[in-house]
Structure 1
């Protein structure tokens, strides 16, 4: 049976476009990925071993970014925190992306009562504060990165669902969808093979923005003690520990804050660049 599909949007040119139009985003995201993937091998010292004799050392030849109150190397712990941030990114994007895309795809593609019911479910999810959901899940289970980020991922479901629903509504009456129905394809098969591929660009854009939010939430929840537990490093726990030494060694908090800000800035700039690219591709 011959199938008729919509013209595929150019995905491969996105990387070249970002490198050309937003090199800062490309550089920051690349550094983040390198730190996240190779952190354990790049770290010059242990991320968890304490050495009170070297506590609160300023940046020097041995400890390039200094040490914390327990004598742990700040640079090594930042590299470890980048890996934790990457895990948070993946958990949130996978949780929110899979559920949100499924809800939005079915709601927008089928319409009618299905759309009404799923849209109400999405609105209910959107109404719950992220921190409250995180506290409830952590209280029911235990403080951990996975449990905290699942809560954040559930909060991201409406973002993905709205985008997927909007694209599905725009496409469901297009000629190639009508042609697929005329060829006898079922609705679910049409959604999976014809509609879903046309959502890739918008969903990647949402993933970059929500991924940046995930890293911010991971830091915030770990700061509150609801995320990664000691002695493992995370941006939030490092900031919590650094606040007690702002007068003695402010570089601890400044270094962590600048690192988190750079990662979030890079991901947001990446999202902006991808948005420009796909808007340009659609014209």
Structure 2
């Protein structure tokens, strides 16, 4: 997950210097990054309204309609159990959004808190937090996921807890960098001069300046969460059947590549579009707060 962090680090300087430009974010995205905006918008629509717009049940089987091609009734065909592929893709998008939220909440809350305290207060706390995050980064995500699933059982939440823990160092590093950048600025010194406590300064003066960079990190780590959810479900460690998931759909399609390759193709395109859209969106937000997009 850490490979995306440099782009987030690059966003830090612009997050404070260009606050007034935030009001034009939508216009900036429409003009400079329409693909990112379009893919993320489709992802949000599918994730929010998927259960209501799905043309068929996501779990009901019909063996008499198994492995059918595209038709008026089943636009993307059916899977080996006769379930509608389009409906299951919409359900998989909901699962991907849940994975995104779990990882971003775990990584964002704990990572931002650690980075804010380490960068804002400094001293021995900064040293301890830096060493702890380095240790966490050293553990392979899939190994942590296997251990947690082995102890607690396979499920979406258990698998994503491991990915969320792996995301903590990314949020901690970026929030620490912003806190170090801001803690000696004039407005922070003025707050100290007025008698504000250090914790109040962290909450009211420094934390708001982290929003831009943290959105960038959330977008990149959220894309990683979608990828890991698909990978772990493919291995049987994530969400369990009959609930739909990109990973489980790809695992089922693997056995029928020679008979019905469309199953793997449409599922692969869908998960790729989600991950690509989130990564492009992170790049776009980074450009926006950097000022490169003006």
Normalised by the size of structure 2, how large is the TM-score?
0.92
1:26-65 correspondence to structure 2 within 5 Å: 26-65=37-76
CA RMSD of aligned residues (A): 1.6
Cα displacement (A) at 1:240: 0.5
**CA separation of 1:255 and 1:268: change in aligned 2, threshold 3 A:** same
Quote the Cα distance in structure 2 between the aligned partners of 1:121 and 1:74: 44
Quote the Cα distance in structure 1 between the aligned partners of 2:203 and 2:293: 21
What corresponds to 2:5 in structure 1? Answer: none
Cα displacement (A) at 1:38: 0.6
Once the two structures are superposed, what CA deviation does each residue of 1:139-187 show, in whole Å capped at 9, x if it has no partner? 1111111111111000000011110000001111111111111111111
Are residues 1:158 and 2:169 paired?
yes
Question: Which of 256, 259, 277 is matched with 1:266 structurally?
Answer: 277
Q: Secondary structure at the match of 1:162?
A: helix
Are residues 1:233 and 2:234 paired?
no
Cα displacement (A) at 1:121: 1.0
Q: Secondary structure at the match of 1:256?
A: helix
Cα displacement (A) at 1:11: 3.0
What corresponds to 1:190 in structure 2? Answer: 201
Are residues 1:89 and 2:100 paired?
yes
Quote the Cα distance in structure 2 between the aligned partners of 1:15 and 1:125: 36
What corresponds to 1:222 in structure 2? Answer: 233
Cα displacement (A) at 1:7: 8.3
Quote the Cα distance in structure 2 between the aligned partners of 1:176 and 1:34: 40
Cα displacement (A) at 1:16: 2.0
Q: Secondary structure at the match of 2:282?
A: helix
Quote the Cα distance in structure 2 between the aligned partners of 1:234 and 1:171: 42
Bigger drift between 176-185 and 6-15 goes to: 6-15
What corresponds to 1:143 in structure 2? Answer: 154
What corresponds to 2:290 in structure 1? Answer: 279
What corresponds to 2:143 in structure 1? Answer: 132
Are residues 1:70 and 2:92 paired?
no
What corresponds to 2:7 in structure 1? Answer: none
Quote the Cα distance in structure 2 between the aligned partners of 1:221 and 1:96: 18
Quote the Cα distance in structure 1 between the aligned partners of 2:45 and 2:252: 25
Bigger drift between 109-118 and 6-15 goes to: 6-15
Consecutive unaligned residues in structure 1, runs of 5 or more: none
Quote the Cα distance in structure 2 between the aligned partners of 1:33 and 1:119: 35
> Comparing both chains, which one has the higher relative contact order based on Cα–Cα distances under 8 Å and sequence gaps of 6 or more?
2
Quote the Cα distance in structure 2 between the aligned partners of 1:156 and 1:38: 28
Quote the Cα distance in structure 1 between the aligned partners of 2:257 and 2:101: 32
Consecutive unaligned residues in structure 2, runs of 5 or more: 1-15
Quote the Cα distance in structure 2 between the aligned partners of 1:13 and 1:141: 45
Bigger drift between 18-27 and 70-79 goes to: 18-27
Q: Number of residue pairs matched?
A: 279
Quote the Cα distance in structure 1 between the aligned partners of 2:31 and 2:149: 43
Kept in 1, the 8 Å contact 2:32–2:293? The answer is no
Kept in 2, the 8 Å contact 1:6–1:176? The answer is no
Cα displacement (A) at 1:13: 2.1
Are residues 1:179 and 2:161 paired?
no
Bigger drift between 87-96 and 171-180 goes to: 171-180
Q: Secondary structure at the match of 1:245?
A: coil
